[in-house]
Amino acid sequence: MVFNLLADNLAWLWDVIAMVIALVILLIVVKINGRIQKSGKLPTYVTRKIVHILVAPIFLLTWLLFTGTPVSRYIAMVVPLLFVVQFTAIGTGLMKDEDSVRSMSRSGDPKELLQGTLYYAIAIFAVTLFWFYIPKTGIAGGNPAAFVIIGCLAGGDGFADIIGRKFGGEKTFGIGGAKKTIAGALGMFLGSFIFSMGLIAIFSLEIASFNLVQL
């Protein structure tokens, strides 16, 4: 999006401001969720998935704050990169952050953040680097691939777990010992579809037509 409250030659500075805003918003989400988990109002598996479902889509929505210049993607990807560093530091014991551990671990063990949580942050970093919605060719070649990927990663995987646990029952299937349910599979499909189409619809207000294959 061509969104810049500064002069054109200071577009990079506005992107830095947008990056800071995005980082603060995501940290607030994690902190609030950690406090909810600590209060015991929701089970741990739900609070974990709340973060899983919300963080990536919210980050993508903050892309609307960036100027859309060629440098925007590189400044935006600092946000997930910082989370990669944070999760690595927490998981290896170099840093303590109880809210993050409560929000994103099953057992409260900081080392868990070196697994799925870290991979999640790396995935968002890769999506930002390779599929930022405004390619180097300009806004006319807008690419919705990131919204589909994140829709499946966040909405699909997140709702698959919650719905599968709630309505899946005892009958499971899967490969290599995985325990999946029909309800969970439907949750994956619906979550992926709703989140992907929702993100595309929001960004379509800016870009009327997307190219699914152009990077």
Evaluate whether residue 15 is within a structural domain. Answer: yes
Evaluate whether residue 91 is within a structural domain. Answer: yes
As a whole number of angstroms, the distance between CA 145 and CA 126 comes to 12
Evaluate whether residue 102 is within a structural domain. Answer: yes
The single-letter code of the amino acid at 88 is: T
Over residues 138-172, the pLDDT tens digits come to 666 677 889 999 999 998 888 888 788 777 666 66
**Which residue segment(s) compose the domain that 141 sits in?**
8-204
As a whole number of angstroms, the distance between CA 134 and CA 70 comes to 8
How many whole angstroms from its chain centre is CA 169?
Answer: 29
Evaluate whether residue 84 is within a structural domain. Answer: yes
Under a CB-based contact definition with an 8 Å cutoff, are residues 121 and 83 in contact?
A: yes
Evaluate whether residue 106 is within a structural domain. Answer: yes
Which residues, in sequence order, are CB contacts of 20 under 8 Å at separation 6+?
none
Tell me what pLDDT residue 98 has: 82
Q: How many residues does the chain have?
A: 215
Evaluate whether residue 215 is within a structural domain. Answer: no
As a whole number of angstroms, the distance between CA 91 and CA 148 comes to 29
Evaluate whether residue 214 is within a structural domain. Answer: no
Between the alpha carbon of residue 123 and those of residues 127, 151, 182, 183, the distances in Å are: 6, 12, 26, 26
In this prediction the pTM is 0.85
User: What pLDDT band is residue 134 in, cutting at 50, 70 and 90?
Assistant: confident
Over residues 53-73, the pLDDT tens digits come to 999 999 999 999 998 888 999
Six-digit token pair at 80? 């997930």
Helical (H) or strand (E) element with 98: helix 98-104
Tell me what pLDDT residue 87 has: 93
User: For the chain, what is the domain count?
Assistant: 1
Evaluate whether residue 210 is within a structural domain. Answer: no
In this predicted structure, the answer to whether residue 135 has a pLDDT above a threshold of 80 is no
In this predicted structure, the answer to whether residue 209 has a pLDDT above a threshold of 80 is no
